[in-house]
Chains A and B, each alone.
Chain A
């Protein structure tokens, strides 16, 4: 998958998915299915047709958001060739119905709200407040300069410091963020990709200073570089270089930080960039297989690292398609890992995922409507069996969310968990003819894309030629045009819109973060041992140049000498070069 090579497996799977596998053991008795087929035909001719002639349907053609045509009704005849073994049981291969035996009956999903802005001091205060309120799962967002590997005093950072996350320019900032927080007691999720290796080192460095063994650190960095090239586009180096760093991180963590989740394979951004549900599913899983191959290339056993891989999906407005996507994702992952990569250990087959509701589905017009959208999306994620969930705030098409809006978003999850009865039954939509059929459609679309990616020369090539990016851009334009032409409705935008716009209360961010960050960085540069920093950076450079070396060890040393984020990333810029995307237009 990652490097291509015309692996016949993907083509065979695509064909099988289209042919519905047709293994022995259909779900229904053949005679009963024949009767139902006759019944459907009869209903169509005698009831439906006459009715629609008199009372035409609202549209000529109905389709899902991905563009899959849907019929007026689904019956056992549509899933007659399915095997119940493909659906199975919760906690049992292929996990279509859920990864845990009790799902939300045992424990509700984790309500993980992601946030952050301003200075490290602001973030420290907020994290401590969350800890006082009983949270142990911390989640940190970073600002753009940090995400792109620039120090806060770099000209490109001007105006962007602390804007949409906290700024980290050296380990000193990380020490401030986690000041007074015992790292062995918390799990920290850091949404960071291109500089994920550096930030992991900084976190490890803080742990060392606190006297906490690295083996006890729990947390997650996103570090999913494949999706950066495909969708979010926060990179520094060319793909090969970043993949090599991900490889180093995998190997380092397997040895030194075995409880650290070092890749969160993310479809979220692929979807937000305008892809369809099927593309989100396919590209995210393809990325996942890419990392599995990367780990194997590095000499690791899949069982050593697969339990540390987790997924991150989007949940948006086409309710049933989203649910089908989640169900298909678990099944395809488990099936391919066991079939193609020979994984036997159960923990390595489980696709655990976090979900976030769709930011792109929110509108700045009539913002309170966004509460309803988020609730529906959250419900789809829960019915899809998510392990954790972030719900967006209604004001996020305007600005970063206010506290009140965040509270409503969290309450939305609590209402689903505690008032609806939805968590009482595992995978309650399992067995719905439509949902099962759509799950198979999603699966089929994913396998077809895997085959296309393989034919395009593998994932890496498909990224470097812009194939995947163009697929997304085209879908995104298709969706926007459908709204523009009124084929798809967005309430408050192209339907039921109102001319007047009432400004809502939004969060204001002041610019003091930049000043205080630049000041601290200057003091860090002044106090550190310049000669030692130089030596450490030179050593890091040699590790970068040696393809077989693991660069994380010298990186950790450099970080501990207070080499800055920008300095470390710059060492790589000189050796690996930088990346310019192929033209997507």
Chain B
């Protein structure tokens, strides 16, 4: 309980991660900086973590949000896997957002799993930051 009170008042904590074999970290690094400038606490996974490592890191670091980025076409496997693992490891209330090269027809399937945002390259910081804030505040309000 005290953890949840603290959570609802503290700064948004976000884990930026690339859960796959993908070194294209430009977007992830830029967003990490943008989240930080927007007043969030940012943790970066570093490169090449597995979905298991990402989920564990999110739970260990007690983040509000996991922001996933992949540009290698593996999002339909890796994103849902992170989401499932979060639920398994007691991080079911952690918001999952994603981005990268996500074809339009994949989006509804990911959204159905609660993985939202799905921003493409060149999305505005303001839009991404706002989306994260809205999802976190909804999640906090649920409690």
A and B form one complex: yes
Residue B103 at the chain A interface, CB threshold 8 Å: yes
Q: Which chain A positions have C-beta within 8 A of B26?
A: 272-274, 360, 476
Annotate B36-70 by CB proximity to A: 1 below 8 A, 0 otherwise: 00000010101110100000000000000000000
Are A360 and B74 CB-contacts (below 8 A) given A476-B30, A583-B44, A585-B44? no
Residue contact B23 to A232, C-beta cutoff 8 Å: yes
Closest A residue to B42 by CB, please name it: A585
Q: Which chain B positions have C-beta within 8 A of A480?
A: 30, 34, 125
Q: Which chain B positions have C-beta within 8 A of A580?
A: 46
A494 to chain B, nearest CB (A): 7
Annotate A346-372 by CB proximity to B: 1 below 8 A, 0 otherwise: 000000000000001011110000000
Residue contact A156 to B104, C-beta cutoff 8 Å: no
A278 to chain B, nearest CB (A): 18
Residue contact A156 to B50, C-beta cutoff 8 Å: yes
Say what secondary structure dominates the interface of chain A: loop
Name the interface residues of A454-508: CB closer than 8 Å to any CB of B: 473, 476-477, 480-481, 483-484, 490, 493-494, 503, 506, 508
Number of A-B contacts (CB under 8 A): 113
Pick the residue among A155, A156, A163, A360 that contacts B72 (CB under 8 A): A163
Residue A36 at the chain B interface, CB threshold 8 Å: no
Residue B77 at the chain A interface, CB threshold 8 Å: yes
Are A484 and B124 CB-contacts (below 8 A) given A399-B101, A476-B26? yes
Annotate B70-89 by CB proximity to A: 1 below 8 A, 0 otherwise: 00111011100000000000
Residue contact A234 to B121, C-beta cutoff 8 Å: no
Q: Which chain A positions have C-beta within 8 A of B72?
A: 144, 160, 163-164
Residue B117 at the chain A interface, CB threshold 8 Å: no
Residue contact A484 to B125, C-beta cutoff 8 Å: yes
Residue A509 at the chain B interface, CB threshold 8 Å: yes
Are A144 and B20 CB-contacts (below 8 A) given A159-B78, A584-B29, A585-B42? yes
Closest A residue to B48 by CB, please name it: A148
Q: Which chain B positions have C-beta within 8 A of A234?
A: 23
Give the distance in Å from the alpha carbon of A274 to the alpha carbon of B32 in the complex.
14
Are A233 and B122 CB-contacts (below 8 A) given A160-B73, A585-B29? no
Residue B113 at the chain A interface, CB threshold 8 Å: no
Give the distance in Å from the alpha carbon of A419 to the alpha carbon of B22 in the complex.
40
Q: Which chain B positions have C-beta within 8 A of A365?
A: 122
Residue contact A506 to B103, C-beta cutoff 8 Å: yes
Q: Which chain B positions have C-beta within 8 A of A398?
A: 101, 103-104, 120
Give the distance in Å from the alpha carbon of A186 to the alpha carbon of B30 in the complex.
42
Residue A184 at the chain B interface, CB threshold 8 Å: no
Are A399 and B103 CB-contacts (below 8 A) given A274-B26, A476-B26? yes
Closest A residue to B81 by CB, please name it: A159
Residue contact B121 to A364, C-beta cutoff 8 Å: yes
Pick the residue among B32, B48, B78, B120 that contacts A364 (CB under 8 A): B120
Give the distance in Å from the alpha carbon of A147 to the alpha carbon of B20 in the complex.
12
Residue A158 at the chain B interface, CB threshold 8 Å: yes
Residue B33 at the chain A interface, CB threshold 8 Å: yes
Residue contact A581 to B32, C-beta cutoff 8 Å: no
Give the distance in Å from the alpha carbon of A163 to the alpha carbon of B126 in the complex.
31
Give the distance in Å from the alpha carbon of A272 to the alpha carbon of B125 in the complex.
19
Pick the residue among A148, A155, A274, A493 that contacts B30 (CB under 8 A): A274
Residue A400 at the chain B interface, CB threshold 8 Å: yes
Give the distance in Å from the alpha carbon of A432 to the alpha carbon of B114 in the complex.
56
Interface residues on A, range: 35 or more
B71 to chain A, nearest CB (A): 9
A341 to chain B, nearest CB (A): 31
Residue contact B122 to A156, C-beta cutoff 8 Å: no
Closest A residue to B107 by CB, please name it: A503
Name the interface residues of A154-176: CB closer than 8 Å to any CB of B: 155-160, 163-164
Residue B111 at the chain A interface, CB threshold 8 Å: no
Give the distance in Å from the alpha carbon of A378 to the alpha carbon of B15 in the complex.
38
A282 to chain B, nearest CB (A): 18
A551 to chain B, nearest CB (A): 24
Give the distance in Å from the alpha carbon of A148 to the alpha carbon of B72 in the complex.
13
B141 to chain A, nearest CB (A): 28
Residue contact B73 to A581, C-beta cutoff 8 Å: no
Residue A300 at the chain B interface, CB threshold 8 Å: no
A386 to chain B, nearest CB (A): 24
Residue contact B120 to A477, C-beta cutoff 8 Å: no
Annotate B85-104 by CB proximity to A: 1 below 8 A, 0 otherwise: 00000000000000001011
Residue contact A476 to B21, C-beta cutoff 8 Å: no
Q: Which chain B positions have C-beta within 8 A of A585?
A: 29, 32-33, 42, 44
B103 to chain A, nearest CB (A): 5
Closest A residue to B21 by CB, please name it: A144
Give the distance in Å from the alpha carbon of A585 to the alpha carbon of B44 in the complex.
8
List of 4 A-B pairs having minimum Cβ-Cβ separation, nearest first: A159-B77, A233-B23, A163-B73, A364-B120
Given A364-B122, A399-B103, A477-B29, output 18 extra A-B contacts at Cβ < 8 Å.
Answer: A144-B74, A148-B48, A159-B74, A160-B72, A273-B26, A360-B26, A365-B122, A398-B101, A398-B104, A476-B29, A480-B30, A483-B124, A484-B125, A506-B104, A509-B73, A584-B44, A585-B32, A585-B42
Ordered by A's residue number, 16 sampled pairs between the chains whose C-beta atoms are within 8 Å are A159-B74, A163-B72, A163-B74, A164-B72, A273-B24, A360-B121, A398-B103, A398-B120, A476-B29, A477-B33, A483-B122, A484-B34, A506-B105, A580-B46, A585-B33, A585-B42
